[in-house]
Amino acid sequence: MSTPTTETALHGVMAEFLTPDELIAATRKAREAGYSRMDGYSPYPLGEVADELGFPRSEIGAVMFIGGLCGAVVGLLMQVWITSYDYPLSIGGKPFWSWPQFVPITWALLVLTASMSGLFGLLVLCGLPQPYHPVFNVPQFIRATKDRFFLCIEAVDPQFEVGKVTDFLNGLQPESVAEVPE
């Protein structure tokens, strides 16, 4: 956890904005001011916020590629092993290595494993399911899934000082600024 800078431990300081563009602009200003440990919250995806946060590319593509590749390879080898080694049967005089007939199952397993590794990759990388998170302690945050946009500069940031961060966020003309208790 973060080093307590005030009496109660803080997760960070959070500013509330009315529009997506204000959040994007605020994130950019915070990055330019040297803050690096922060997060933006919005009811629908805003790619620009992730860009400004310095997260230009997610890991999901690599996760799904590896997952799909494993599924396809295992699926193909399974069929080859069944039909050529463990239980060889001559079907219509076809060779044991009749690879075109292994395509449908190889493909199905590729899609299945790629999708499942994508889903579990998302959950693991995002740390979900997560029953508790400090941001929900802020009463205004209930509108983060509705119509408000939030920027939270976190206490783990090397430049974090409650007073300075609060002043900085107030300078961005937010709707409100609140300390986020841990």
Partner 1 sequence: MATATENAPAPPGQYPPHPEGLIGGSYDTVTLGDKIADVVIGDYPTPKAWWGWFLFGFALLQALVIGVAYLFWYGTGVWGLNQPAAWGLAIVNFVWWIGIGHAGTLISAILLLMHQKWRTSINRFAEAMTLFAVMCAGLFPLIHMGRPWLAYWLFPFPNNMAVWPQPRSPLMWDAFAVSTYFTVSLVFWYVGLIPDLAYLRDAARNRLQRLVYGVLSLGWRGSAYHWRRYEKLYLLLAGLGTPLVFSVHTIVSFDFAVAVVPLWHATIFPPFFVAGAVYSGFAMVVWLAVPLRHYYGMKDLITDRHLELCAKVMITTGMLVTWGYSLEVWMAWYGHSQREWSATMQRMWAGPYWWSYWALILTNSILPQLLWIKRVRCNELMLFLIAGSVHIGMLFERYVIVITLTRDDIPGAWGRYAPTIWDYAVMFGSIGLFVTLFCLFLRFLPMISITEMREFLPFKQGGRDGHSCMENAK
Window 71-90: residues binding partner 1 (CB under 8 A):
78-79, 82-83, 86-87, 89
CA neighbours closer than 13 Å in the CB half-sphere of residue 122: 5
Contacting residue, 33, 66, 69, 122, with partner 1 by CB under 8 A? 122
Cα separation of 152 and 130, whole Å? 18
Closest distance to partner 1 from the beta carbon of 157 (Å): 15
Q: Is residue 163 a contact residue for partner 1 (CB under 8 A)?
A: no
H-helix or E-strand spanning residue 99: none
Contacting residue, 98, 137, 166, 176, with partner 1 by CB under 8 A? 98
Nearer to partner 1, 26 or 177 (CB): 26
Q: Is residue 115 a contact residue for partner 1 (CB under 8 A)?
A: yes
Q: Is residue 19 a contact residue for partner 1 (CB under 8 A)?
A: yes
Q: How big is the site for partner 1, counted in residues (CB under 8 A)?
A: 74
Site string for partner 1, 41-70 (x = CB under 8 A): xxxxxxxxxx--x-xxxxxxx--x---x--
Nearer to partner 1, 10 or 134 (CB): 134
Closest distance to partner 1 from the beta carbon of 179 (Å): 17
Contact residues for 85 (Cβ-Cβ < 8 A; gap 6+): none
Residue with tokens 């690096």: 36
- Taking CA atoms, 148 is separated from 38, 83, 141, 144, 145, in Å, by 17, 59, 8, 5, 7
H runs (alpha helix) in the chain: 20-32, 47-52, 60-80, 103-126, 162-170
